[in-house]
Chains A and B, each alone.
Chain A
Amino acid sequence: MSTVAFAPISARRRRVDKLARGTVALLTGIALVPLVLILYYLVKQGIGAVSLDFFTTDPTGSFLGDPGGIKSAIVGTILMVGLATAVAVPVGVGVAIWLVEFGRASKLAHAVRYFIDVMTGVPSIVFGLFVYITLVIGGFGGSSFAAWKGSTALALLMLPIVTRSAEVVLLLVPNSLREAAYALGAPRWKVVFRIVLPTALPGIVTGVLLAIARAAGETAPLLFTAAAVNATAFDYNDSMNSLPMLIFKNVGQAQDRLVTIAWGAAMTLVVMILILTLLARLIQRRSRLS
């Protein structure tokens, strides 16, 4: 009986291994630098603006006096993104259901998928321009700039994101569940609504939250659709303020106090999106499909 001797790892292999590990770690570090710096500056510059008044008063628009808070922008962002979500989610999930359960590999389904992919790649300012040309210039609904027109642009932006993410999750629902339901004599629509959708729900919600986070941070679709005002507004057929627009307006001002407001608003927006993302993560973790 002789013991089998394995050759020791050569010095060259050890060196290559170290080099490879070092390179990958370095690249990761480089990628982290801007991320950390962004968050650092956001907090450093923005924290000074934060106070109770900052969240509870509207901007005054005054250049020299008290600049006010960002209440109208927070309310406006929630209202406009809320309306956009209310439109984009049912339509997007509906399209995804059709693609997965009915369209499958048909020519029309392929065409729809292709256009959704194209829509995903369309720059957000194009959606803004489209709404500007069709709804704003024509004075559709008796208004020029209006919150609902901003919501329309945001909804167009969200639609492909919602559809794509919902389609992926619906495809993850095992076919064996559909078969089990069909074998029990369930009609097709009940299989979709009682079995497939509840199973896919956590994943769909995650996709929706990510789409909301994306829309909440967009400036370009709102720039020439909803414009910006100072006062808190609840009328969807009138201009409405939003966080990205407020940041856009204030950051270029010559007054340091106004720039600080922009940083504070940016921090607020990031925190809002962070909460949504965390929520999405939490729901994803509880999902039964991953």
Chain B
Amino acid sequence: MSDPTPAAVRRETPSTEDPMSSQNEPIVTPSRPVPTAGPAAAPQHVARSVTVERLNAWYGDQHSIKDLTLSFAPNQATALIGPSGSGKSTVVRCINRMHEEIPGARASGRILLDDTDVYAPGVDVVAVRRAIGMVFQKPNPFPTMSIFDNVAAGLRLTARKVGHDQVESALRGAGLWEEVKDRLSKPGIGLSGGQQQRLCIARALAVQPDVLLMDEPASALDPISTLKIEELVQELKSRVTIAIVTHNMQQAARVADQTAFMLDGELVEVGATEKIFTNPDDSRTEEYVTGKFG
């Protein structure tokens, strides 16, 4: 399933016009009640692929991503691993064009969402970010808003109407509904750290993205909350394509279909997670995953 030659550009991704395509059998979780509202709330959804082509990124004079090419298959989780400062976060921040929000930061290359280059001139950054959601390292619910309003925020901030069904669907998708359904009007910051992070995931899901970028989503959480997030990643693959940055190699091994190892802003190796952790091609990958450095 995963692509052994990352340099090869994927073009044969399934079209989004056919949401019932059986090409990628989504994982159906019987424990999760299926929302009934509207076509938008359909739990099974063929997401779009992301292809990073010859990406270079800078912070001022610092060249932090060097000629990186990498594909993220639809409805799969791809883990980005590597030591601190290797550029993992920068890559995902380039995908939804959050990188350019930092003063002095710039990027070149192509990032294709299916066939559309998100860096093409004239592309609306706002539209890109609606299609590519993001979850950050530290849970960051909006402190002035209730649980409901936090989930609704993405839709309201992009001038769309919000119904109760959409919020419920997003909270169910993030596995938080049962815990918060009786206190939707309470402040979002009153939740525990792990719940806050799932609230942030619900907030990202409510906008109905095709891709979800997760930048070390569990690194600030306790082990049980971490486990919940990991289970959630498995479930979310039925809705979205996932790119997950992690420092935790066990986590990558548990959640990812494909794993990419980065070092000093370069892609060292990418392949099926099992292969990367058991029989990598590159000696540096082997040294890193066996804990010899990093």
Contact indicator A180/B207 (Cβ below 8 Å):
no
Q: Tell me the minimal C-beta distance from A102 to chain B in angstroms.
A: 12
Contact indicator B153/A176 (Cβ below 8 Å):
no
Q: Is B140 an interface residue (CB 8 A)?
A: yes
Q: Is A61 an interface residue (CB 8 A)?
A: no
Provide the A170-190 mask, 1 if CB < 8 A to any CB of B, else 0: 000010110111111111001
Contact indicator B189/A179 (Cβ below 8 Å):
no
Which of chain B's residues have a CB closer than 8 A to the CB of A152? none
Which of chain A's residues have a CB closer than 8 A to the CB of B98? 179, 182-183
Q: Pick the contact of B144: A174, A185, A187, A199 (CB < 8 A).
A: A199
Which of chain A's residues have a CB closer than 8 A to the CB of B153? 181, 184, 194
Contact indicator B134/A198 (Cβ below 8 Å):
no
Say which one of B3-11, B72-80, B123-131 lies at the interface with A.
B123-131
Tell me if A's interface is mostly helix, strand, loop or mixed: helix
Q: State whether A174 and B129 are in contact (beta carbons under 8 Å apart), knowing that A185-B158, A288-B189 are contacts in the complex.
A: no
Q: Pick the contact of A187: B126, B128, B138, B154 (CB < 8 A).
A: B126
Q: Is A191 an interface residue (CB 8 A)?
A: yes
Contact indicator B142/A185 (Cβ below 8 Å):
no
Q: State whether A105 and B103 are in contact (beta carbons under 8 Å apart), knowing that A183-B129, A186-B157 are contacts in the complex.
A: yes
Which of chain A's residues have a CB closer than 8 A to the CB of B138? 176
The 8 closest A-B pairs by CB, nearest first: A186-B157, A184-B154, A185-B130, A185-B129, A183-B134, A176-B140, A198-B144, A180-B140
Q: Is A129 an interface residue (CB 8 A)?
A: no
List 15 A–B pairs whose Cβ atoms lie within 8 Å, in order of A's numbering: A174-B140, A180-B142, A180-B200, A180-B203, A181-B153, A183-B136, A184-B130, A184-B207, A186-B126, A186-B154, A186-B157, A190-B157, A191-B157, A194-B153, A288-B189
Q: Tell me the minimal C-beta distance from A285 to chain B in angstroms.
A: 15
Which of chain A's residues have a CB closer than 8 A to the CB of B143? 177, 199, 288-289
Complex interface residues of chain B between 116 and 170 (CB less than 8 A to chain A): 126-130, 133-134, 136, 138, 140, 142-144, 153-154, 156-158
Which of chain A's residues have a CB closer than 8 A to the CB of B156? 194
Q: Is B96 an interface residue (CB 8 A)?
A: yes
Expressed in whole angstroms, the Cα–Cα distance for A104 and B133 within the complex equals 27
Expressed in whole angstroms, the Cα–Cα distance for A199 and B154 within the complex equals 17
Which of chain B's residues have a CB closer than 8 A to the CB of A199? 142-144
Q: Tell me the minimal C-beta distance from B26 to chain A in angstroms.
A: 24
Complex interface residues of chain B between 221 and 268 (CB less than 8 A to chain A): none
Which of chain B's residues have a CB closer than 8 A to the CB of A174? 140
Which of chain A's residues have a CB closer than 8 A to the CB of B203? 180, 184
Q: Is B68 an interface residue (CB 8 A)?
A: no
- Which residue of chain A has its CB nearest to the CB of B157? A186
Q: Is B61 an interface residue (CB 8 A)?
A: no
A104, A185, A186: residue with the most chain B Cβ atoms closer than 10 Å = A185
Which of chain B's residues have a CB closer than 8 A to the CB of A186? 126, 154, 157-158
Which of chain A's residues have a CB closer than 8 A to the CB of B133? 183-184
Q: Tell me the minimal C-beta distance from B45 to chain A in angstroms.
A: 18
Which of chain B's residues have a CB closer than 8 A to the CB of A183? 96, 98, 129, 133-134, 136, 204
Expressed in whole angstroms, the Cα–Cα distance for A106 and B23 within the complex equals 52
Q: Tell me the minimal C-beta distance from A90 to chain B in angstroms.
A: 21
Expressed in whole angstroms, the Cα–Cα distance for A128 and B207 within the complex equals 54
Expressed in whole angstroms, the Cα–Cα distance for A184 and B206 within the complex equals 10
Q: Is B101 an interface residue (CB 8 A)?
A: yes
Expressed in whole angstroms, the Cα–Cα distance for A185 and B127 within the complex equals 7
Expressed in whole angstroms, the Cα–Cα distance for A33 and B43 within the complex equals 71
